[in-house]
Amino acid sequence: MTKLQTQVDDAMLRPDLLRIAQWIEPGSRVLDLGCNDGTLLAHLRDTRQVVGTGVELNDQFVIASVRRGVNVIQQDLEKGLALFSDQQFDTVVLSKTLQSMHHTEHILREMARVARYGIVSFPNFGYWPHGWSILRGRMPVTGEMPYQWYNTPNIHLCTMKDFQDLAQAVGVRILDRAAFNGRDTVRFLPGWRSTLAMYRFESPHFLAA
């Protein structure tokens, strides 16, 4: 792939997925949980020579991933990651899915079990217009949370500080953090001004080694 083609591909990728790609070492083994249509894994394969595996439940997304040449397993993440062995991967990714998991702490622990590094992204409930909506008596509806209260798949919404507390409780060490509002990176007051938060962490199994 030429440098120009790589730049074009990067420009077409969602900014959060691009940041994830930047956090992943070339040639590493990656597990993408809730891989959607396989866009991230295909990008990692083509630009960073990553050996990737996706997990996805939706039939149409599984088909789309296969058409991209992505190795994908159809499974419900709520059933855990028992089919993967300890430290089978270098990095495991959970993009925009954490908030829809019933067993949030469990999936984070499982991520730390199957890989040395984990990357998660989720809608930041601390975004200031959310608080304003609640003060007006309404649940917030925004670009990262476009659902009404009665049809939302989001069941465990959290702020950036909430996730940091969970990471500490689970024992993973946060290595990197990024925050976005649309396509823009937010560096000043990200807990208030960002709509999407991302974290990269290290498994406690390696910290104890």
**CA–CA distance, 106 with 100 (Å, rounded to integer):** 13
CB 70 within 8 A of CB 93: no
Pairing of strands 72-74, 89-95: unpaired
**CA–CA distance, 55 with 106 (Å, rounded to integer):** 17
Residues 98-156: tens digit of each pLDDT: 988 989 999 999 999 999 999 999 999 999 888 778 777 877 777 766 777 777 766 78
Reported as a pLDDT band with limits 50, 70 and 90, residue 207 is low
Mean pLDDT of 28-33: 98
Q: Which pLDDT does position 117 carry in this prediction?
A: 98
Q: Which domains does the chain have, with CATH numbers?
A: 3-127+156-206 (3.40.50.150)
Residues 50-98: tens digit of each pLDDT: 999 999 999 999 999 999 999 999 999 988 899 999 999 999 999 999 9
**CA–CA distance, 89 with 117 (Å, rounded to integer):** 9
Beta bridge partners of 31: 53, 92
Q: Is 90 exceeded by the pLDDT of residue 40?
A: yes
Beta bridge partners of 93: 32, 119
Of residues 132 and 46, more confidence is placed in 46
